[in-house]
Amino acid sequence: MKVTKDLVAASATPMVLGILAEADSYGYAILKRINDLSGGELDWTEGLLYPLLHRLERLGHVESRWQSVAGERRRKYYRITDTGLAELAEQRRQWDTVVGALTQIWRGNGDSRPLTAFPLGGNA
């Protein structure tokens, strides 16, 4: 099962900001972390990540710097800013609202039919 493009797009900003809130990182490491966290279900490409990082940088949510590592090529590291931390908090608040609503729906929200009564892929 792969996650739909709509869900990937909706979750991309909070995922990247959340990873950068843990520690500064560079593109490949961010891609690997997302893949690892999702058990391989989120297999992002550079074509998704780098435009997002550039947009976050333009918005002031992240800053970047080039860093040389002995014996390796230079890497562009990204760091979350205070503005980015505030944005992450807002994104988390919004996701908590969405998850809370979905949880109520999926638990039946008082409906006597459990979610398992609805066929997978069918209309509920």
Q: Which two tokens stand for residue 19?
A: 């990873």
pLDDT at 1: 72
pLDDT for residue 41: 92
Residues 6+ apart with CB under 8 A from 67: 26, 74, 75, 76, 77
Q: What is the pLDDT of residue 124?
A: 47
The model's pTM is 0.83
Q: What is the pLDDT of residues 33-88, one digit of tens each?
A: 999 999 999 989 999 999 999 999 999 999 999 999 888 889 999 999 999 999 99
Give the pair of three-digit tokens for residue 94.
Answer: 């919004």
Residues 8 and 44: beta-carbon distance below 8 Å: yes
Give residue 77's region: left, alpha or beta (phi > 0; psi -120 to 50): beta
Three-state DSSP at 78 gives strand
pLDDT confidence tier of residue 121, bands split at 50, 70 and 90:
low
CB within 8 Å of 35: residues ≥ 6 apart: 42, 43, 44
**35 near 42, Cβ under 8 Å?**
yes
pLDDT at 69: 82
Query: Rounded mean pLDDT of the chain?
Result: 90
